[in-house]
């Protein structure tokens, strides 16, 4: 029996055993950008989840580009050494491939960890200056960012390239640029956050200029056999913001720069915007990106059930599906999805005796 979700896919020189991806999820547990034992446990667990690819959380390209004091970074030798330790161990013990999402927080930086309050750091909490295309706060109570200068943009572009080179030395199987969720690159793309009147603002072509220059520079540094992708925003879910039409145009531009795949997400450009709540709400936009831009598309957002994921792939709406909270709730989501669909997925030998072939309760569940 054919199962679309558990069929292989090739992205540039990377062969993946199935279409299931663990979405990047911030853990807010780093030490000055350095991965810790928490990451070793967390990513080691997900390496056995049944997903063919695990994308490491937003990993920031400079210290002042982090979201919180606990966010992961890849801007120093210490960061590189700490993350290499985690990824080497997780890859050695698990079956999944590993990607990394490179990011800059923009105006959403210098923030509290979520469990400490969803707002900016206060005086005495070691806040830092944030940057954005325009000096507009993310929301009420947030820092007013400084408008990025040409020198800032050149430095940040170089920082993305340097972090990509560190990721290659670590041995990541894929690299992904974060152009969504209101962070710096998305901020330049969105008319809601970008009110500039220079070459980086106004028209779509101008708003695209800086993010596209980052993609171009990173692609030049990343060998063609290593997939380079991006997470993009399919809609800002607000009038005057990014629309699916612009998402398709962005996808075409990124494909022309040599990107291999896109993950279609949405929302997050302003604190008071709420995304739709229906399951798979990004799927129609991902389908447009896949079909109209002719690039491999991954979709994410309230994908919960195995049958739903199978339908998305089987009907050609996307090439891959990504889950975040689904894997936090059930770290063996991929195992259980394979069983529900009558498919098979690789398990560690140490756990084979708990599988349906060797344990009757699992077969009946």
Catalytic sites, residue numbers = 183
What per-residue string of b and e applies to 231-264 under the rule 16 or more CB within 10 Å gives b? bbbbbbbbeebbebebbbbbbebbbebebbbbbb
Sign of the Cα pseudo-torsion (183, 184, 185, 190, in order)? positive
Q: How many CB atoms lie within 10 A of CB 199?
A: 12
Kindly list the distances between the CA atom of residue 343 and the CA atoms of 10, 47, 338, in Å, as whole numbers in the listed order: 19, 19, 5
- Please return the burial class of 213, using the count of CB atoms within 10 Å of its CB with bins 0-12, 13-18 and 19+: middle
- In terms of phi and psi (left: phi > 0; alpha: psi -120 to 50; beta: otherwise), the region of 259 is beta
């Amino acid at each position: 029996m054919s199962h679309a979700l558990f069929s292989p896919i090739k992205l540039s020189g990377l062969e993946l055993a199935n279409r299931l991806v663990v979405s990047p999820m911030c853990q807010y547990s780093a030490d000055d950008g350095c991965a810790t034992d928490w990451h070793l446990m967390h990513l080691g667990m997900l390496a056995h989840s049944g997903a063919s690819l695990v994308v490491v959380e937003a990993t920031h390209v400079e210290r002042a580009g982090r979201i919180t004091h606990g966010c992961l970074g890849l801007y120093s030798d210490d960061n590189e050494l700490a993350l290499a330790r985690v990824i080497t161990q997780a890859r050695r013990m698990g079956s999944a491939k590993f990607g990394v999402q490179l990011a800059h927080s923009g105006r959403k930086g210098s923030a509290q960890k979520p469990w400490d309050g969803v707002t900016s750091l206060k005086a005495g909490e070691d806040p830092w200056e944030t940057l954005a295309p325009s000096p507009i706060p993310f929301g009420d109570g947030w820092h007013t960012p400084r408008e990025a200068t040409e020198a800032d943009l050149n430095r940040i572009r170089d920082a993305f390239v340097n972090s990509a080179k560190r990721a290659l030395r670590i041995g990541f199987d894929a690299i992904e640029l974060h152009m969504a969720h209101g962070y710096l690159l998305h901020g330049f793309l969105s008319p809601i956050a970008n009110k500039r009147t220079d070459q980086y603002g106004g028209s779509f072509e101008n708003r695209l200029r800086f993010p596209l220059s980052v993609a171009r520079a990173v692609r030049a540094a990343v060998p063609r056999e290593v997939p380079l992708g991006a997470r993009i925003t399919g809609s800002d879910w607000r009038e005057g913001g990014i629309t699916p039409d612009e998402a398709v145009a962005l996808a075409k531009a990124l494909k022309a720069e040599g990107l291999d795949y896109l993950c279609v997400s949405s929302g997050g450009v302003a604190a008071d915007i709420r995304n739709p709540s229906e399951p798979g709400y990004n799927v129609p936009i991902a389908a447009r990106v896949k079909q109209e831009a002719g690039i491999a598309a991954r979709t994410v957002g309230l994908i919960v059930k195995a049958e739903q994921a199978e339908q998305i792939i089987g009907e050609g709406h996307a090439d891959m599906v990504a889950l975040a909270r689904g894997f936090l709730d059930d770290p063996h989501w991929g195992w259980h999805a394979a069983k529900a669909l009558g498919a098979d997925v690789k398990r560690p030998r140490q756990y084979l005796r708990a599988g349906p072939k060797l344990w009757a309760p699992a077969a009946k569940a």
